[in-house]
Amino acid sequence: DAQESRGLGDVYKRQLQFFTMFNRNLALWTMIVISCLYITNNKSWSETIHKSETKIPLANFTQLPSLFGVAIYAYMCHHSLPGIIAPMRDKASLKRLLAFDLIAVFLTYAILGCVALISFGDITNPTCDNKRGPPCSIQKLFTFNFTSYKIRFLADYLALFPVFTLSTNFPLIAITLRNNIMSLFKLSDRSRREFSAFFSLATWAPPIAIAAITDDVHKLVDFTGAYAGLFIMFIFPALIVYYGRRKTDIRFGFESSKKNPQYSPFSYPFPSFWVFFILGFSLLSLVLVIVKQILDLTKQNKI
């Protein structure tokens, strides 16, 4: 029964993953296409929008700490990797597949960022109306830049896109967290069934309580992405690799990792260099984020 229950859970998670993937790609490329249309139809809005005379800066390093939280969320896929990799029979091309996937994601985000800057970067109109109207400056949630688009179905879909994403991502991450917590306690199959509701409630209650307290999504992303995401995406994997290699070398010999067909190309010629580089980068990122948040709080208190 426990095996069947876990099997159904995996099927449910896989269906959510496919729906999330389709929905996210559809929204991303819809925003890219509409942004390109705003660029090409710029003349039609010239009489109704106000543009800044200052040039768009090539980079704004004061916002670098905020980038970490957003980037960590953008590339957060650890909860889906086991369900994707485990069923694969032939893992010979696994590294190329994952590399292609991450490069494709990076190019998509780069294209979206470029067209966003070109189409909305110099507009001074602060917000977009919830009806057909002129475009506005880049919003904290980029989907809100399209609430005034003339095709109302697309405008409403993009405005609700964060809701669709959270509705699928939240159950996926909650299920993974619940299963990990139950595995941490080393529960038997019977205990898993008996305490499943309790652990589900313990997993769902804290984020629901936080959602009820605050509605500032931008600050929430900065905080959770910068701290929890930093540990999940960088620090924990680096420590697992470091201690995993040490244990493997002790048990099977120092050259054993070379016999692994899936060994990391970053493990040679200095096996621990990239591990310590990632840990150092994580520490620097953490310091920058803390400094940025302290400066933001200082500015708010002055105001």
- The residue whose two tokens read 């620097």 is 284
Task: Tell me the average pLDDT across 142-156.
Answer: 87
C-alpha gyration radius of the chain: 23
CA distance 181 to 96: 32
pLDDT reported for residue 191: 78
- 264 or 109: which leads in pLDDT: 109
pLDDT tier for residue 256 given thresholds of 50, 70 and 90: low
pTM for the whole structure: 0.69
Query: Whole-number mean pLDDT of the chain?
Result: 76
Report helix angle 217-226 to 273-302, nearest 10. 150
| Average pLDDT of the segment spanning 188-196 | 78
Kindly state the tokens that stand for 242. 């470091």
Q: Is the peptide bond before 265 cis (omega within 30 degrees of 0)?
A: no
Note the pLDDT tens digit of each residue in 268-284.
Answer: 667 678 888 888 888 88
pLDDT of 1 over the 60 cut: no
Four-point Cα dihedral 142, 144, 150, 152, nearest 10 = 120
Q: How confident is residue 68, by pLDDT bands cut at 50, 70 and 90? A: low
Measure the CA–CA gap between 202 and 169, rounded to whole angstroms.
Answer: 17
Which tokens in the block code for residue 168?
């699928």
254 band by pLDDT with thresholds 50, 70 and 90:
low
Type of residue numbered 108: T
